[in-house]
Homo-oligomer: A and B are copies of this chain.
């Protein structure tokens, strides 16, 4: 499991509704947490203004996600998500979400986003590409 960046960009107590009858968080909710963490990363790390943020939510489509689980988060625990920007292409962006519960590795999500216009992939607007690019992993 990758170490992730130093500071979690998103954290939340596990919700009772998120746990299934085996007492662990149902797998789909990890994608929800990654989505929330991506929003927090754009706002708090990249520092996008509200209008740019809204434009990204509108234009950025999720193309692929891969998830690998290491343990199940449980009710009573707080989950944290670290975000690392792995690559930035003409229209694509790959983010990695490292999800822990009370520090215990739970799941790593890697998601590829594509900038779109009129439903087709399109190049990033230059100022947004520059803003995101400044936060790529070295």
Contact = CB atoms under 8 A, between A and B. Distances in A.
A15 B36 contact: yes
Contacts of A17: 20, 26, 28, 32, 35
A20 B28 contact: no
Chain A interface SS verdict (over half): mixed
Interface in A99-118: none
Contacts of A39: 16
Can you tell how many copies of this chain the complex includes? 4
Interface stretch (A1-9, A63-71, A85-93, A125-133): A63-71
Contacts of A19: 20-21
Contacts of A27: 31, 35, 62, 65
Interface in A35-73: 35-36, 39, 50, 57-58, 61-69
Nearest to A63: B69
A66 B65 contact: yes
A75 B16 contact: no
A12 interface: yes
10 contacts: A16-B20, A16-B35, A17-B26, A17-B35, A19-B21, A22-B58, A28-B28, A61-B69, A64-B69, A65-B67
